[in-house]
Copies of this chain bind each other. A is one copy, B any other.
């Protein structure tokens, strides 16, 4: 079982931390979109659990962890309550939230990759599902809030790439039979640090070559 690099208790705590910070980001978007308390709670749940739910449905791990572990379900509710009552304070510490979100990203891409591999998927597919675990919740959050997923927008700092690197590192470790708590921790840390650097230096990915009159095309596309 590759899933348990860490003792179960440690891993569960890390899981819940990742779920919590993802839920915070969902709840904050819900407040900005002017949703009511139930909308805030639902967007927090979807953001926090959506990626893992997608992974579990795809690999056939049914019922998904999101519905079998009560802690997974209640943690986003706590995050929603916190944001509901204290959101001006939470927004003020947005940079702290971003750091936690980066930690969640690193953690989830590694956990997702190993869990998919445990269920018999190939290395490439496992890495793809690790990426989906890490970014899926945020995509669902933006779709439900009726916005273009920030993951896909060129004017946001790199988000998918750090998760891809982390997931690829885990896949390589499995390939060379050297996945252990230490190498898994290195993968988490690499994704985490890459995301922090991307935010610090505003790293962005290139758009398509030879684009001219982009403004016009965007207008056209958005109408």
Q: How far is the CA of A164 from the CA of B85 in the complex (A)?
A: 22
Q: Interface size for chain A: under 10, 10 to 19, 20 to 34, or 35 or more residues?
A: 35 or more
Q: State the copy count for this chain.
A: 3
Q: How far is the CA of A148 from the CA of B29 in the complex (A)?
A: 13
Task: Indicate whether A30 reaches chain B with its CB closer than 8 angstroms.
Answer: yes
Task: Pick from A95-103, A104-112, A172-180, A200-208 the stretch touching chain B.
Answer: A200-208
| Inter-chain contact B121/A67, CB cutoff 8 Å | yes
| Inter-chain contact A221/B32, CB cutoff 8 Å | yes
On whether A214 and B34 interact (CB within 8 A), knowing A40-B208, A68-B125, A208-B83, the answer reads yes
Q: How far is the CA of A59 from the CA of B217 in the complex (A)?
A: 40
Collect the chain B residues with CB atoms within 8 Å of residue A87's CB.
Answer: 208-210
Which listed residue, B43, B204, B208, touches A152 by the CB 8 Å rule? Answer: B43
Chain A residues with a Cβ under 8 A of chain B: 29-40, 42-43, 53, 57-60, 62-64, 67-68, 70, 73, 83-85, 87-88, 119-122, 124-125, 128-129, 139, 143-149, 151-154, 160-161, 204-211, 214, 217-218, 220-221
